[in-house]
Amino acid sequence: MRRFIFWVGMLLLLLTGCRVDYPASVLHPAGPVARAQLKLVALSFFIMAGIATVVLGLLLYSALRFRQKPGDDEDPPPSPEVTWVEVLWTAIPLSLLIIMAIPTYNTTFYLAKPPTEDPLPVEVVAHQFWWEFRYPDLGIITANELHIPAGRPVEMKVRSADVVHSFWIPRLGGKLDAAPGRTNRFWLQADEPGSYPGVCAQLCGAGHAQMHLVVHAQTAADFEKWVQAMKAPYGIPTDPLAREGEAVFSQSCQGCHAIGGSPFKGRVGPDLTAFYLRTTLGAGLVKNTPENLTRWIEDPLAMKYGVLMPSGKRDLNLSDGQIQALVAFLEGNR
């Protein structure tokens, strides 16, 4: 009975890895790049699983069939040379390498260039510990949340502003290094509208584990609405509290942050244009709500280890009222 309970427990433990609705699984691709990468992974896995099965099976058979009997201390006779066996164990690995090399070669060139003449160009700049996205053709800069039109290829140019990172959206593709002084290229495409989480897949410092991103694949109409919202002229706040927050931003925040169309042109931290449109803050750390934004401004280091943003209370000496006004300014159009 104990043995039965043990094996049932082990089976249940294994089943915990079979959750099908995991939002960041490479086993559920949502675009052509991710599907091409999964095919290579699956091919390699089944080849290696086949080799392991044959080798371990022969090893087990030999151990049982030819085990040493009690009292038999004589060495077995040397194995004779068998030419066909030597040819076979050379030909099989060579054939398997060729089987893996051909699709790898084809997929490498398939992923090197978007399949259409009208991809959406996006520049990805990795920072400790957040992502910057630039749309050169649209004149848009944003952070941590990448908006793309579903069904249209997106041509990515990936680099780093500091250390080595790795850009990866499991269901769409990637896992491409972002290195300082070098620009790497690839493309991706989402089949259907939806939100696809991504991560930094390269240890890049103390805040690496919380360096997330989200890709929002949208219909063409919704993507155009987002573009227009991002490019809308900057308007002076009419709400008194938000207007006070603008003054606080000008005094304490514009040295690092920018807002499109405004006098605020800081380039050290994330661009905050149309911040109210974002679903998360802190590079995917928590939902973008006034309550979470208040906590973030008060003490970002208490929420995200390794963050370089100064504390609103401890470092900038902002009062509760100033922080409340700043939140009203950033979230004003929600």
Domain ranges of the chain: 26-56+82-230, 240-330
Report whether 324 contacts 241 (CB < 8 A).
Answer: yes
Q: What is the pLDDT of residue 6?
A: 77
| Cβ–Cβ < 8 Å for 169, 215 | yes
Examine domains 26-56+82-230 and 240-330 and report if their fold is the same.
yes
**Residue 20 pLDDT:** 59
CATH of 240-330, one of 3.40.250.10, 3.40.50.2300, 1.10.1840.10, 2.60.40.420: 2.60.40.420
Short-list 184, 40, 189, CA closest to 107: 40
Nearest to 92 by CA among 42, 41, 58: 58
How many angstroms separate the CA atoms of 284 and 304, rounded?
Answer: 11
SS (H, E, C) 49-107: HHHHHHHHHHHHHHHHHCCCCCCCCCCCCCCCCCHHHHHHHHHHHHHHHHHHHHHHHHH
Please answer whether residues 172 and 31 qualify as being in contact, where contact means their C-beta atoms are separated by less than 8 angstroms: yes
For 26-56+82-230, CATH number out of 3.30.420.10, 2.60.40.420, 1.10.150.20, 2.40.50.100 equals 2.60.40.420
CA atoms within 13 A on the CB side of 112: 7
Smallest CA-to-CA distance from 206 within 162, 159, 155 is with 162
Q: Please state, in angstroms and rounded to a whole number, the distance separating the CA atoms of residues 315 and 309.
A: 10
Rounded Cα distance between 291 and 217, Å, is: 27
Contact yes or no for 141/150 (Cβ under 8 A): no
pLDDT at 19: 60
- Taking the C-alpha atoms of residue 128 and residue 308, their distance in angstroms, rounded to an integer, is 8
Token pair listed for 109: 């060139």
Instruction: Give SS3 for 308.
Output: coil
List per-block mean pLDDT (blocks of 10 residues) for the chain, which spans 334 residues. Answer: 75 70 81 94 94 93 84 77 86 92 92 85 96 97 97 95 95 92 94 96 93 97 96 89 94 93 91 94 94 96 91 92 95 70
Closest CA to 202 of 215, 193, 194, 211: 211
Q: What is d(CA 273, CA 323) in angstroms, rounded to the nearest whole number? A: 18
Q: Measured between alpha carbons, how far is residue 212 from residues 38, 169, 193, 227, 304 in Å? A: 22, 10, 20, 22, 12
Strand 154-160 versus strand 184-188 pairing type = antiparallel
